[in-house]
Structure 1
Amino acid sequence: MNAVDVHLVRARQALLNAAAVVPHTDADGLAAGAIALRARDEGASDAVLLPRGTTPFAPGAPLPGGPLAILDWGVRELDRPGVLVDHHLPEAAPREDQVVVSSYGEEPEVPTAALMARVVPDAPPWLAAVGAVGDLGPAGFALPECAGVPRAAVRRLAGLVNAPRRLPDGPVRTALALLVEHDDPADALLDPRVDELEEAKRAWKAEFDRVVRTAPVVGEDAALLRFSSPCQVHPLVATTWSRRLAPRVVLAANDGYLPGRVNFAARGGTASPDEFERLVARLGLAA
């Protein structure tokens, strides 16, 4: 075996030794979590799904003791042994008792579920594809880990399992269960519980349609939309208005997503981090 194969064997063993699987709750994280849970002969009820606004790296996060499998949460300092699988820029080096599997810098981008298919070689390619398409759109189908999957079913399922996390109390665990319990995406889509995901998607769309009509405050180089919604609508609101108001930076500020906080999404423009910070302060949102 070469060094890469040895590293993946270490990651696989760390996954099996973990006290729990902690997946992110978007389509990529849930698909990665489903691959991990199936490899461990566990169900969706065994996964640790963190509440909104919490990460596994935060002090006091509601986590079990022992080593963990942290999937699609980034790579940051973790105060225990474990395996971390992710595709974003790592923010910390692993300790000796930790294994990191990262695809950061690979071209094309390899999302976490496709990375997990490397860690668990007998994982169903359609699960890797659900995560890849959830993150990359149709480009995800081009990854070798996703070869030969039924595209229409994967596309629909990726959109459905991504919907619950955008609601304050969406059926995230139901979405994970569909990925863990079925052998192909067509079967998963026939599960009666899909109705819960369809309803979550409709509820999110209704909320997006409401807040996207917010009138922006438009300046020379920036625009602000401020609204209150318990749903994760601000990223797409910012994206939608950035197309209409190019080349300005568009900030969508959501006062209702987390108690006591304003959550931002910024799209468009060419502001540097320092310029962006000044822009936020100028718009009266520094707090």
Structure 2
Amino acid sequence: MRSRLPRLLTPLVRAALSKRVLPRVAFSGAMSAQILGNRARSITTYTEGSDLPRVRPHVWPAPSKDIMAARDFIRESAASPKNILIVPDREPDGMASGTIVSLVLQLLGKPESEIRIHFTAAGFTIFNPLERARLSRVCQKENVSHVIVLGQGARASWSLLEKSIETKALIINDQHSDRFLENTVAVSASRDPPSTTSSLLTYIVCSELHPEARETTGWLALLGIFGDLGARASLEPPYPQELKDFKKKYTSTHLRDLVTLLNASRRTPECGTRDAWEILQYTPQTNPAPTPKSIMKGEANAELRERLKDAKTRVNAEVRRCSKMPPRFSKDRKVAIIFMDSPYLVHPLVATRWSNYFDPNLTKLVLAANTGYAEGKVSFSCRAVSGRARKGDKGGPKEYETESWDINVISILREYLAKDSLLEEQARGEFTNGYKRATGGSVPLDVWMLFLEKGLEITPRKGDFPQKHALDYIQD
């Protein structure tokens, strides 16, 4: 496969260099960026049952009309005499997005004292009715005129807020979606490659709003990219050219270390997201402004850094413990399930770790299920099997030659849900949102049991569910 790959890409690269129309091919985000570059301005697709090509514009990172609407929304927010509420995701990408918005609002003249921050409750999303009520109360209590939601996904729902609340809303979302909440301005990532992040979308929206916005917030866009796409993510066009300069200035090592530090706080049982948020906060007038290097050295806030380092140590220990659980397999052996009971948010890390140790010819995805994170629910993470395992010097895991780029986690999960109409009705909203190679969610125990029995066709065992209240669902 490796020897054939360059020959496969050659006609695509030639097409890009000659400004010819490129076919739409499913590559990873980094490779797509290298192939498309700035020269690819259109995409050719073929309608099923027809040999005639259909050419459409290559849209990236989002439709321009949506980006312009978001800029108008932020300008309006900065001019509002009332408070502004920022609702970022708990991941580094969401934290970086929220910090970008906060800094740009201040550059536009909004006092820092009029900017509020809100995090969803652990185990909940903004689409949950309980969280909607909670967010509505915050808007009413804090006298909020505009709310900006970052990196929380997009699903069909009646409203972000209760109908009695007149607060205006903006959603910036790195997952492509055609479904949005009512009465909101929304910027959703395009389905066209390369991959994007919420922080990059937020940076592109905000960078044109003030002359100092690029220099002030550029490293935060990189922080989110490192958090979501990894340190090896390509920054080739159509990514903004200045991101390469910021990467040289702030270095991959410090950005990567900061991502790890920020991630640790949200994974602990106490979910200390505030510490991660506070360590990133500063005003445009701060001199010198904090950098990834100064934060990691404790120059910005030594006390917060020590608390985050302690969280990182505890999370790493819990990942090692939960990774020792042996997997079970679906009836067709396409899915490996790792059961755990942990108050830590470690199931995504365990799923990623195990995804390197299966043959993608046989097992397509890893599903890590945690009964201890959210009471009464099973929190889960799915990862496509990577087939990256290498043979060690002393008989370690063998190397799998088959590439796994074509594994689509969402499509595979939909196939399992389609086996039972009740299962599909109750679980579709949680199992089919996310990325092509990674997704996750949280479902009630009875829905999870239905998924195991009807979807994966395996018989649950008591050892799979250490929590006492889960045993009621399992027969001897």
Band the TM-score falls in, shorter-chain normalisation: 0.7 to 0.9
Larger Rg: 2
C-alpha distance in structure 1 between counterparts of 2:265 and 2:456, whole Å: 30
* More off after superposition, 137-146 vs 173-182: 137-146
- Name the residue aligned to 1:73: 152
TM-score by structure 2 length?
Answer: 0.54
The match for 1:157 among 258, 272, 294 is: 258
**Equivalences for 1:173-252 in 2 at 5 Å?**
173-181=274-282, 182-191=289-298, 192=302, 193-218=304-329, 221=333, 222-246=335-359, 247-248=362-363, 249-252=365-368
For 2:126, the equivalent position in structure 1 comes to 56
Which of 48-57 and 238-247 deviates more? Answer: 238-247
Deviations 1:152-195 (A, max 9, x none): 22121122112211112133112111212253222222331211
Q: Which runs of 4+ in 1 moved over 4 A?
A: 2-5
Residue 138 (structure 1) aligned with residue 242 (structure 2): no
5+ residue gaps in structure 1?
A: none
Q: 1:75-94 counterparts in 2 under 5 A?
A: 75-76=154-155, 77=157, 78-79=160-161, 81-90=168-177, 92-93=179-180
Greater alpha carbon shift after TM alignment, 218-227 vs 205-214: 218-227
User: Aligned-pair RMSD on alpha carbons?
Assistant: 2.8
CA distance in 1, matches of 2:264, 2:76: 30
1:112-159 CA-partner distances (Å, limit 9, x unpaired) = 111111222104210111111100002446142633221222121122
Change (3 A) 1:58 1:5: closer
Report the residue type matching 1:53 in the other structure.
G
Report whether the alignment pairs 1:24 with 2:89.
yes
> Helix, strand or coil: the match of 2:126?
coil
Q: Conserved in 2, the CA contact under 8 Å of 1:223 and 1:250? A: yes
Aligned-partner Cα distance in 1 for 2:457–2:380:
13
Q: Distance in 1 between matches of 2:413 and 2:120?
A: 32
Q: Indicate the residue corresponding to 2:272 in structure 1.
A: 171
Report percent identity of matched pairs. Answer: 27
Distance in 2 of aligned mates of 1:244 and 1:70: 36
Q: Distance in 2 between matches of 1:105 and 1:133?
A: 20
Q: Secondary structure at the match of 1:232?
A: coil
Q: Name the SS for the 1:163 alignment partner.
A: helix
Cα distance in 2 for residues equivalent to 1:140 and 1:29? 18
Q: What secondary structure, in the 3-state scheme, does the structure 1 residue paired with 2:177 have?
A: coil
Shift in CA distance, 168/201, structure 1 to aligned 2, threshold 3 Å: same
Q: Does 1:102 align with 2:218?
A: no
Per-residue deviation, 1:84: 0.6
Query: Does the aligned pair in 1 maintain the 2:148–2:169 contact within 8 Å?
Result: yes
Given the alignment of the two structures, is residue 116 of structure 1 paired with residue 202 of structure 2, yes or no? Answer: yes
SS of the equivalent of 1:138 reads: coil
Shift in Å, 1:217: 2.8
For residues 232-280 of structure 1, the C-alpha deviation after alignment (integer angstroms, 9 at most, x for no partner) is 1112222322332333243322110111111222334663523264444
Amino acid at match of 1:180: Q
Aligned position for 1:282: 458
1:26 shift after superposition: 0.2
